[in-house]
Structure 1
Amino acid sequence: MLLMNPDTRPSVACLSGRRVVDVLGSIGAHTVLLDDPTPLELAARADVPLDLDLGDWGAVESALRAQHADRPLEGVFTVYDAHLPLASFAAARIGVRGLGLPAALACHDKARLRMMLAADGLRTPVSLPVADPADARAAARRLGLPVVVRRTVGRGRLRCRDLDEVKRASERLGPAALLVERFTGGPEYAVQSLTVDGVTEVVSVLAQHTGPGPAQVETGYDYPSGLNPAREAELKEFCVRALAVLGFDHGVSHSQVRLTDDGPELVDVAARPPGGQLCAAVERVSGIDLTRAAAEIALGRPVTRRPPTASHVLYRCVDFDGPGRIGYDPRRLAAPGVWLDVEPGDHVRAVDDLEGGTYGRIVVYGDNPAELDSTYHSLYESLRLRVEPDTQ
């Protein structure tokens, strides 16, 4: 009689995540997946799918304690902002690897983030918390216009030039807790990092483009950043120090930094890999897949490093100057480097619309910036993008 070998794969718990499940499978991990509910296709690929109310932290802790008693977990993690405090809480409660709870709470709550950094002398936008949207105009008067009104938790920010815009922005973004912060100009950069046992390594720095409208939509990225070596080193050192102040000990991060006349200013930190095609772009220029790195850090494994395959990236989001129904040549979606999130005939908004955004990406790689620019324009023109008036 043949005896089956026991399953000795290391076990890790992940709160939600489609690509993470695939990554965990590819690196030989035993995956406990918690979701609300767990999609059927992911439940079929996870070793232990658990349908739980992720708003019930006690139930999540109890379920993970039972899993840990049956088969010890190496760590608990997530790549979703909304689940970050819960994942860190659960890891701390059962005594396994995870992002420290102070860092998780700071990355989740922008008011807490700014207070922690400012207390240690690190520059962040000067801001005032607003519990009631009706108080936003008073905060703006105190700070001086222009300002940015943003939710303290979750997405949503609007730049305001006058007090009427502040009122509209606070009504639109409320009744959630808000921050009103002084707007400071300057180029913005996206900084990708990984942290193991409290030691942070900056993986890449990309120049970030922002749209013209009040929503400050991110419209593209460039690598290299265009900064001179000394300036980029200053920015990297600033981010490493900021993560240390937050208590960031295990995980990957995506930080947004603005370079002002007075030096770097930290706008935001997300304790996860970047979204869209940016994670793939970072992998091309660094050799590090940040989603895989997040899983490996949770498992206590060395981060996989491969040779970079490109020295330059030109990443542009697809956006529009005005609203209407989109038209394009769908055959061009087969071209490498082109992604659209809308179908022909779908309604789109202008990039400067309060509800506007981006509707796809064109990403090209190479070693010659002039060739990248030429390739990008060729791909864009081949799509034959057009926006026709919406008559409905």
Structure 2
Amino acid sequence: MDTDTRPSVACVSGRRVVDVLNELGVRSVLLGDPTPLDLACQVDVPLDTDLGDWQAAEAALRWLHAARPLEAVFSVYDAHLPLASYLAARLGVRGLDFQAALTCHDKIRMRMALESGGVRVPDYLPAADPADALPAAQRLGLPVVVKKATGSGGRGSMLCRTLQEVAHAVDVLGPLAVIVERAVEGPEYAVQSVTSHGKTEVVSILAQHVGPGPRQAETGYDFPSGLSPEGEDQLAAFVTEALAVLGFDHSVSHTQVRLTGDGPVLINVAARPPGGQLWAATERVRGIDLTRAAAEIALGRPVTRSAPSATRVLYRCVTFDRPGRAWYDLDGIDSPAVTLDVDPGDSVRSVDDPEGGSYGRIVVYGDDPAELESRYRAILTSLGPRVEPDNQ
């Protein structure tokens, strides 16, 4: 007789979620294609299945569900959110609403839904055929942003100031459908939130820094945001309304908003925790681990809250202004403050390259803004990131 009474949850996700589920003491099922061996050893049931074949994934998970009922299916990866919500809906268990997941995955569908719900978005035109991007840009007026119609993130987005740049963006992002939208002027903010049973709580609002383009790379964040309390209340209400229009019921979210002279404009909603070290930054300054929160919401549990350990964060991405081989020196560095994604001598691209972007992060916490800036500058100087020509 099975005496294991732990609740069961399935995730279509990766490494940190596995750690969180183990900490929560639940029985975990991990869907992989295939499941990495090291993760398979850490979960209760590794389930290898073709994640592109939804019917096959459903059949495999339904068989497990019949033998040991699941309470939820969720994911924290953009690419797998629709599948996770589909499986939750088909099994009749908790998960992000399937239509909400599909809407967030498709930028054209998202903008149509938000527009119909009275939420302001950039002026845009869809280009199901990439050849339609040029006339769309001419109709909207330059500059424009050309984005992949599905998925999210800066790697699928390019700022274009000329028609030649639009044509190049289509070549880089294609041959799939794109969306062309008029570039929105104004400071950008990242809004983190948790939604349970359709009720949204904004956890944090950070000022977001973005590269010069054409690559729309995130280059840093600041908390507090620098907005007045009234400004933050306005953004929080705007995002809460947007998530309600999209049909959010059980999820965490990372929403990007531009603040214009006419008010906020929604740039993107990702139904997942933020990437990089933003989840850790949010935990430090707000006391909520958004990856853990995603699992707890899926399980129907209250979100764990702890006392913040800092009132400010200065978060800067490590980027390079030209391609080549990256070099740096970690000797004497406060290692917890630095995360690097490349080894010395690895090839890197420039921050404005469509395949470039961030290669690491320097994140410092504290209570005094001048001290944070001083510590960041000292770490950056000691690290000495530089690029040398790649002669190979």
TM value normalised by structure 1 = 0.97
3-state SS, counterpart of residue 322 of structure 2: coil
Which amino acid letter does the alignment assign opposite residue 142 of structure 2?
Answer: L
C-alpha deviation, 1:315, in angstroms:
0.1
* Aligned equivalent of 1:80, options 74, 77, 81: 77
Matches within 5 A, 1:222-237: 222-237=222-237
User: Which residue is 1:280 aligned to?
Assistant: 280
* Aligned equivalent of 2:37, options 10, 35, 40: 40
User: Which residue is 2:340 aligned to?
Assistant: 340
Matches within 5 A, 1:32-111: 32-111=29-108
User: Which residue is 2:28 aligned to?
Assistant: 31
Give the distance between the partners of 1:334 and 1:35, measured in 2 at CA: 36
Decide whether aligned partners of structure 1 residues 208 and 357 sit closer, same or farther in structure 2, where only a CA change above 3 A counts.
Answer: same
3-state SS, counterpart of residue 331 of structure 1: coil
3-state SS, counterpart of residue 297 of structure 1: helix
Q: Is residue 2:383 matched to residue 1:383? A: yes
1:333–1:340 CA contact under 8 A, matched in 2 = no
Which amino acid letter does the alignment assign opposite residue 275 of structure 1?
Answer: G
Give the distance between the partners of 1:209 and 1:261, measured in 2 at CA: 18
Cα displacement string for residues 2-25 of structure 1 (whole angstroms, at most 9, x for unaligned residues): xx9811000001013111111101
Give the distance between the partners of 2:245 and 2:255, measured in 1 at CA: 14
Q: Is residue 2:364 matched to residue 1:367? A: no
User: Which residue is 1:184 aligned to?
Assistant: 184
Give the distance between the partners of 1:59 and 1:98, measured in 2 at CA: 19
Give the distance between the partners of 2:92 and 2:386, measured in 1 at CA: 55
Which amino acid letter does the alignment assign opposite residue 291 of structure 1?
Answer: T
3-state SS, counterpart of residue 336 of structure 2: coil
2:29–2:45 CA contact under 8 A, matched in 1 = yes
Which amino acid letter does the alignment assign opposite residue 79 of structure 1?
Answer: V
C-alpha deviation, 1:390, in angstroms:
2.2
User: Which residue is 1:161 aligned to?
Assistant: 161
Q: Is residue 2:144 matched to residue 1:147? A: yes
Q: Is residue 2:110 matched to residue 1:113? A: yes
C-alpha deviation, 1:332, in angstroms:
4.4
Which amino acid letter does the alignment assign opposite residue 378 of structure 1?
Answer: A
Give the distance between the partners of 2:35 and 2:53, measured in 1 at CA: 16
3-state SS, counterpart of residue 336 of structure 1: helix
Give the distance between the partners of 1:364 and 1:234, measured in 2 at CA: 28
Runs of 4+ aligned residues of structure 1 deviating over 3 Å after TM superposition are none
Give the distance between the partners of 1:229 and 1:330, measured in 2 at CA: 39
Decide whether aligned partners of structure 1 residues 149 and 5 sit closer, same or farther in structure 2, where only a CA change above 3 A counts.
Answer: closer
1:333–1:339 CA contact under 8 A, matched in 2 = no
Decide whether aligned partners of structure 1 residues 135 and 5 sit closer, same or farther in structure 2, where only a CA change above 3 A counts.
Answer: closer
C-alpha deviation, 1:324, in angstroms:
1.9
* Aligned equivalent of 1:128, options 93, 102, 125: 125
Cα displacement string for residues 122-179 of structure 1 (whole angstroms, at most 9, x for unaligned residues): 1011111101111111001111111111101124111111111111111211111100
**Cα RMSD after superposing both structures:** 1.2
C-alpha deviation, 1:319, in angstroms:
0.8
User: % of aligned pairs identical?
Assistant: 68
TM value normalised by structure 2 = 0.97
3-state SS, counterpart of residue 164 of structure 2: helix
Give the distance between the partners of 2:35 and 2:329, measured in 1 at CA: 36
Cα displacement string for residues 343-364 of structure 1 (whole angstroms, at most 9, x for unaligned residues): 1111222212233211110000
C-alpha deviation, 1:84, in angstroms:
0.6
Which amino acid letter does the alignment assign opposite residue 303 of structure 1?
Answer: V
2:333–2:382 CA contact under 8 A, matched in 1 = no
User: Which residue is 1:10 aligned to?
Assistant: 7
The number of residue pairs the alignment matches comes to: 389
Give the distance between the partners of 2:325 and 2:352, measured in 1 at CA: 17
Give the distance between the partners of 1:47 and 1:295, measured in 2 at CA: 16
Which amino acid letter does the alignment assign opposite residue 60 of structure 1?
Answer: A
Give the distance between the partners of 1:66 and 1:351, measured in 2 at CA: 47
3-state SS, counterpart of residue 94 of structure 2: coil
Q: Structure 2 unaligned runs (5+)?
A: none
Cα displacement string for residues 84-122 of structure 1 (whole angstroms, at most 9, x for unaligned residues): 111111101110000001110111111111000001111
C-alpha deviation, 1:334, in angstroms:
5.7
Give the distance between the partners of 2:121 and 2:332, measured in 1 at CA: 42
User: Which residue is 1:207 aligned to?
Assistant: 207
C-alpha deviation, 1:391, in angstroms:
2.2
3-state SS, counterpart of residue 255 of structure 1: strand
Give the distance between the partners of 1:57 and 1:350, measured in 2 at CA: 38
1:207–1:223 CA contact under 8 A, matched in 2 = yes
Q: Structure 1 unaligned runs (5+)?
A: none
Which amino acid letter does the alignment assign opposite residue 322 of structure 2?
Answer: G
1:213–1:354 CA contact under 8 A, matched in 2 = no
Give the distance between the partners of 1:85 and 1:116, measured in 2 at CA: 17
Give the distance between the partners of 1:354 and 1:100, measured in 2 at CA: 32
Give the distance between the partners of 2:243 and 2:234, measured in 1 at CA: 14
